[in-house]
Amino acid sequence: MKMIRAILRPETAELVAEGLAEAGFVSLTKINVFGRGKQKGITVGTVHYDELPKTLLLMVVEDANVDTVLKLIHHKAYTGNFGDGKVFITSVEEAYTVRTGAKGL
């Protein structure tokens, strides 16, 4: 299993979530975060914004589905401008469902 953390524009996060649900990846966790990238935030006129609002989508999928999810995120979240976001993939060793105590996704 892999955990996929996608830091996206808040306005595209909902598109991504809908696209993922259509493709059968319904479960996800949404967290509102603040951050900046290589561009060190954004300067509008004389005002510099150091931390930009972003939405972090966190989901855990089977190894075989990682590429599908990544393609979907790229397809839905792409605008071509700086600030489209980043996706990080980490490994998950075990998963449990609390209600049943069963192992696995």
Partner 1 sequence: MKEIIAIIRPRKIGETRNALEQLGFPSMTATAVLGRGAQRGIAAEVKHINPDLLAPNHAGGMKYIPKRLVSIVVKNVDVATVVKTIIEVNQTSQVGDGKIFVCPIEDAFRVRTDERGESAV
Residues that bind partner 1 (CB under 8 A): 1, 3, 21, 26-31, 58, 60, 90-99, 101
Cβ-defined contacts of 20-24 (< 8 Å, 24+) = 20/59, 20/69, 20/72, 20/73, 23/68, 23/69, 23/72
**Are 41 and 35 a contacting pair, CB within 8 Å?**
no
Using the minimum distance from each CB to partner 1, give the nearer residue, 2 or 42. 2
Using the minimum distance from each CB to partner 1, give the nearer residue, 43 or 97. 97
Per-residue exposure over 30-39, b if at least 16 CB sit within 10 Å of its own CB, e if not: eeeeeeeeee
In the complex, what is the shortest distance from the CB of residue 12 to partner 1, in angstroms, rounded to a whole number?
16
Using the minimum distance from each CB to partner 1, give the nearer residue, 46 or 90. 90
In the complex, what is the shortest distance from the CB of residue 47 to partner 1, in angstroms, rounded to a whole number?
29
Using the minimum distance from each CB to partner 1, give the nearer residue, 30 or 48. 30
For residue 47, what are the contacts with CB-CB under 8 A and spacing of at least 6? none
In the complex, what is the shortest distance from the CB of residue 25 to partner 1, in angstroms, rounded to a whole number?
10
In the complex, what is the shortest distance from the CB of residue 9 to partner 1, in angstroms, rounded to a whole number?
17
Identity (one letter) of the amino acid at 94? E
